[in-house]
Chain A
Amino acid sequence: MPAVKETIEDVRRLEADKYKYGFTTEIEQEFAPKGLNEDIVRFISEKKGEPQWMLDWRLDAYRRWVEMEEPTWANVHHPKIDYQDAYYYAAPKNAAKYKSLDEVPAELLETYKKLGIPLREAEVLLGVEGAEDRTAAEAREAPKVAVDAVFDSVSVATTFKKELEKAGVIFMPISEALQEYPDLVRQYLGSVVPVTDNYFATLNSAVFSDGSFVYVPPGVRCPMELSTYFRMNAQGTGQFERTLIIADKGAYVSYLEGCTAPMRDENQLHAAVVELVALDDAEIKYSTVQNWWPGDAEGKGGVYNFVTKRADCRGRNSKVSWTQVETGSAITWKYPSCVLRGDNSQGEFYSIAVTNGRQQADTGTKMIHLGRNTKSRIIAKGISAGRSDQTYRGLVSVHAKAEGARNFTQCDSLLIGDQCGAHTVPYIEAKTPKATLEHEATTSKLSDDQLFYARSRGLDEETAVALLVNGFCREVLQELPMEFAVEAQALLKVSLEGSVG
């Protein structure tokens, strides 16, 4: 489809139902009572049938959290969060298997349709009998993406499990992994983001309800892209995901995380923790497209996205690459980081953040160079429009023993309109002369010359802006897996709708 027509249609679609993913599925849900205390933590742990050590771990986190103060250093402003006024556990009441798709509640199917999940895949996700075998057979020809859908707090089902099993890859909800591979979980959980790490990570440690667990055994190249759709659904429920990915020696895995949330009046808290562990020669690629409900034009509602993501490049020659496209959420507070511990390990961070309306984003990365000859590369593109505010906050730290370390950082900000703000706050720490660190940042508005040129070639203003913005972000977009690159480009367009003229 020509770009012009596509944009027009995107915009029309947006006007038609404002926020495509702003729907609520009416299904019976099981809630834990509102509020947070030790009993709720016990309740969650019991619901999951967790071992005693896990409960103790959670309780320890909860007790620490109570003593902690909410951080205020980020450049974001929001009313104080009442942690007692939320549900910490919600599960679809009936997660039982269906005999065929006809038995699946229509609302649930509708949800998947709006999310763009193909019917066949939906069958598997919903646990329809025999679906897995049929899908696996079809998938042998088609490009493969394994999906672990998180419907509120419980992973509903996992596709492609069998084929992954054949490769020896473990990909399942973390709650199941706790039952089936407790030793593996126990060995790595909290080893990258400790319980004490920060206010939101500690809260997550206490109340996390589910998430994904991936283990790729030594020398295995994961045969498909792994993917999780996060969906927040029940009103007033916080989402506390816990993702743990381990790439053993020489393993490779690419993980896709996509997020959409329904329209809400009240603010929803999302405090996820993602831990990645890369051992010797292993590589993990983690991509995110985040387009949660950003709140309405007056800044009412929207998701608070306070996430801790960190990778530990523990082994020699290991590599972790974070790619993110952040267009949603009312407030984003997120710094996917790499601890470059192993010699010759590499960390990469590619980011596009778009804020419009009254969105606020304080995002960036941390690259901690500990090992010799470690390398890191940071490319961050920020686009502020409307009345939004955006901050790039990043740390590059080179320790005394990290001889031969190299870093390159580039952050560019684009301002559209004169009511928004764009800020850059890099921290650079060097403790060895045998390292090279470079940082560049620019802030500018869309070039009038370029806009004029595009317009004189017959593009309307909105399309011209979309074109220029896509060009501005190109270095990051090309890092995304194919499936996401298309979605991300469309998202950029829709996110900036109404920002010019």
Chain B
Amino acid sequence: MGVAPQLSAFEAALAASLPAGELRAALETAGLPHRRIEAWKWSDLRAALAKAPARAGMLSVNASRKADEITTLDRQPDLLMPRLAAGLSEGCPVYALKDGESLSLDFEGSEGASHHIAAVNVPAGVSATLHERYRVVAGGFANIALRIVLGEGATLTRIVEQDASPNGVLVVTTGIDLSPRAKLHQTTLGFGAKLARLETHITHAGEGAQLVLGGSYLVASGLHLDQTGIVRHTGTNGATRELFKGAAAKGGRGVFQGKIHVEQAAQKTDAQMNHRGLLLGDGAEIYAKPELEIYADDVVCAHGNALGAVDDEALFYMRQRGLSEARARAVLTRSFLAEPLDAIEDETVREALLARLDAALEAVS
């Protein structure tokens, strides 16, 4: 901890590609995040990249339309990974969404290390959809930082799909500002990678603003998915609902880290966070840390977390009705994981995501 780490060839190359300065020094002294750093306790990025080839890769971004402008990223979470992404990207494409627009952004990381930043603005009163998709090929490391700003009364539906990327490493850090009366409904569907982390930092201004975070994950053998979300309530009368459900097959690892931070000014906050995990076989692992940090007294905050296996009684019931055990398990697991996705309003999108979930379930069972 206090001792400077021995940088891997990968980290050294990453540092060398940065201009001399504070960021480079930070990487050189501490290296990439590892398990001894509290926020990365269950997702050891350093270990995952220890033997990665020290060369630059390509990140292809397939957007449904051109960016409105290319600029520099003004503000983002003060964390090493997004700072690295900003430091190693050339310019930041900015998308200003129009009312009723649906923007899709597909990211694919090639072999080697690649970095990218992008910003999405949802102006006041505008209602729009953002659909992201991430995948990384084997031997690749993609580090992406996104910045999303919702103006007053804006509404955004955000869909995030993370494809199974065996032997790829992915870190996506998103900083979101929620202005008064804005609404964000975010749903993620993830399948993991050698190590994948979807990290979201949301500043919730309250005053009628509403946040719904939903997520499903299914990690097969050898895959790791970390969903980390920090919601900071800064104003009064804010509401947050979180529901994350996931399943880990034998040899798969799921990580959920959620935090709801309520500042003293954020009186009358109503926040609930729920995480449920299913362990599908021996050697499956799920780690959870649902945190509350509360400095205001007139609030209602709760979190729940439950980990276990498929309910034996339900299983018994279905077998009585003539389903094979494997089939009964699949049905129960499917209905368990589908709940966060069921909340997606757009039927086409919802059905597409459920179909992907079904295909993935087929593959693990």
**Which positions in A face B, CB cutoff 8 Å?**
69, 73, 400, 413, 415-445
Interface contacts (Cβ under 8 Å), in number, total 120
Q: How far is the CA of A215 from the CA of B190 in the complex (A)?
A: 54
A424–B299 touching, CB < 8 Å: no
Is the Cβ of B297 less than 8 Å from the Cβ of A418? yes
Is the beta-carbon distance between A440 and B290 smaller than 8 angstroms?
no
Chain B residues whose CB sits within 8 angstroms of the CB of A428 once the complex forms: 287-289, 305, 307
Contact of A436 among B285, B288, B308 (CB under 8 A): B308
Q: How far, in whole Å, are A433 and B329 apart by their CA atoms in the complex?
A: 13
Annotate B278-307 by CB proximity to A: 1 below 8 A, 0 otherwise: 111111111111111111111111111111
Give the one of B280, B281, B283, B288 with max A CB within 10 A. Answer: B288
Residue of A426, A431, A444 touching B305 (CB-CB under 8 A)? A426
A445 touches B299 (CB 8 A): yes
Check B306–A438 contact: CB distance below 8 A.
Answer: yes
Option from A426, A430, A440, A443 in Cβ contact (under 8 Å) with B294: A443
CB pair A440 B304 closer than 8 Å = yes
Chain B residues near A443: list those with CB within 8 A.
Answer: 292, 294, 299-302
Choose one: A423, A432, A440; the contact of B302 (CB below 8 Å): A440
State whether A418 touches B305 (Cβ < 8 A). no
B25 at the interface (CB under 8 A from A): no
Q: How far is the CA of A445 from the CA of B173 in the complex (A)?
A: 34
Partner of A413 from B1, B294, B296, B306 at Cβ < 8 Å: B294
Within 8 A of A (CB), among B260-284: 264, 267, 277-284
In the complex the two chains form, what is the Cα distance from A495 to B352 in whole Å?
Answer: 57
The answer on a CB contact under 8 Å between B291 and A424 is yes
Closest CB in chain B relative to A452 CB, distance in Å: 15
Q: Interface centre among A425, A433, A436, A439, by most B CB within 10 Å? A: A433
Contact A427 B285 (CB under 8 A): no
Q: Which residues of B contact A445 (CB under 8 A)?
A: 297-299
A437 touches B306 (CB 8 A): yes
List residues of chain A with CB within 8 A of the CB of B291: 423-426
* Shortest beta-carbon distance from A196 to chain B in Å: 16
Residues of B within 8 A of A425 (CB): 289, 291
Report yes or no: B267 in contact with A418, Cβ–Cβ below 8 A.
yes
Give CA–CA (A26, B46) in the complex, Å. 58
Q: Does B2 contact A (CB under 8 A)?
A: yes
User: Are B267 and A423 interface neighbours, CB within 8 A?
Assistant: no
Q: Is the CB of B290 within 8 A of A444?
A: no
* Size category, B interface: 35 or more
Q: Which of B289, B299, B306, B308 contacts A427 (CB 8 A)?
A: B289
State whether the Cβ of B313 lies closer than 8 Å to any Cβ in chain A. no
**Docked CA distance A431–B252 (Å):** 10
Name which residue of chain A comes closest to B257, CB basis.
A427
Given the interface contacts A430-B285, A430-B307, does A73 sit within 8 Å of B38 by beta carbon? yes
CA distance A417 to B267 in the complex (A): 12
CB–CB A439/B306 < 8 A = yes
Known A-B contacts A413-B294, A445-B297; the reply to A433 vs B304 at CB < 8 A is: no
Q: List 20 A-B contacts (CB under 8 A).
A: A69-B1, A69-B2, A73-B38, A415-B299, A416-B297, A418-B296, A420-B295, A421-B293, A422-B294, A427-B287, A427-B288, A427-B289, A429-B288, A430-B277, A431-B283, A433-B308, A433-B309, A438-B304, A438-B305, A438-B306
Contacts A428-B289, A443-B292: A433 and B284 contacting too (C-beta < 8 A)?
A: yes
Residue contact A423 to B293, C-beta cutoff 8 Å: yes
CA distance A424 to B285 in the complex (A): 23
Is B307 a contact of A437 with CB atoms below 8 Å?
yes
Q: How far is the CB of B5 from chain A (nearest CB, A)?
A: 16
Closest approach, in angstroms, between the C-beta of B221 and any C-beta of chain A? 14
For the complex, what is the distance from the CA of A439 to the CA of B280, rounded to whole Å?
Answer: 20
- Which residues on B sit within 8 Å (CB–CB) of A423? 291-294
Q: What chain A residues lie within 8 Å of B298 (beta carbons)?
A: 418, 445
Shortest Cβ gap from A120 to chain B (Å):
47
A425-B289, A432-B282 are known contacts. Are A439 and B304 too (CB-CB below 8 A)?
A: yes
Q: Which residues of A contact B293 (CB under 8 A)?
A: 421, 423
Given contacts A69-B1, A431-B285, A439 and B305 within 8 Å (CB-CB): yes
**Could you tell me if B279 and A430 are in contact, using CB atoms closer than 8 angstroms?**
yes
Indicate whether A437 sits within 8 Å of B300 (C-beta atoms), given known contacts A421-B294, A426-B289, A432-B282. Answer: no
Cβ distance A295 to chain B, nearest Cβ, rounded Å:
21
Instruction: Give me 12 other A-B pairs in contact (C-beta within 8 A), A423-B292, A437-B306 excluded.
Output: A73-B38, A415-B297, A418-B296, A422-B294, A429-B288, A430-B308, A431-B283, A431-B284, A433-B278, A437-B308, A440-B303, A443-B299
In the assembled complex, which residues on chain A have CB atoms less than 8 Å from the CB atom of B281? 433
**Inter-subunit contact A433/B302 (CB<8 Å):** no
Find chain B residues with CB under 8 A from A415 CB: 294, 296-297, 299
The answer to whether B295 touches A421 (Cβ under 8 A) is: yes
Q: Mark B32-47, 1 if CB is under 8 A from A, else 0.
A: 0000001000000000
Give the Cβ gap from A405 to chain B, nearest Cβ, in Å.
10
Residues of B within 8 A of A433 (CB): 278-282, 284, 308-309
Distance between B142 CB and nearest chain A CB, rounded to angstroms: 28
CB distance A424 to B303 under 8 Å?
Answer: yes
Q: Which residues of B contact A436 (CB under 8 A)?
A: 306-309
Q: Which residues of B contact A431 (CB under 8 A)?
A: 283-285
Interchain CB contact under 8 A, B307 and A400: no
Contact residue among A418, A429, A432, A444 (Cβ-Cβ distance under 8 Å from B287): A429
Question: How far, in angstroms, from A204 to B285 measured CA to CA in the complex?
Answer: 36
Contacts of A73 in B (CB 8 A): 38
Cα–Cα, bound, A417→B294 (Å): 12
Query: Smallest CB–CB gap between A382 and chain B, Å?
Result: 11
Question: Which residue of chain A lies nearest to B262 when distances are taken between CB atoms in the complex?
Answer: A443
Chain B, Cβ-Cβ closest to A389: B295
B299 in contact with A439 (CB, 8 Å): no
Q: Which residue of B lies closest to A430 (CB)?
A: B307
Contacts of B305 in A (CB 8 A): 426, 428, 437-440
- Whole-angstrom CA separation of A123 from B308 in the bound complex: 56
Leading 5 A-B pairs by shortest Cβ distance: A433-B279, A415-B297, A436-B308, A439-B305, A433-B309
Kindly state the separation between the CA atoms of A434 and B281 in the bound complex, as whole angstroms.
Answer: 9
On whether the beta carbons of B297 and A417 are closer than 8 Å, the reply is yes
Q: Which residue of B lies closest to A422 (CB)?
A: B294
Contacts of B279 in A (CB 8 A): 430, 432-433, 435
User: Which residues in A have their C-beta under 8 angstroms from that of B278?
Assistant: 433
* Set of chain A residues within 8 Å of B302, measured between Cβ atoms: 440-443
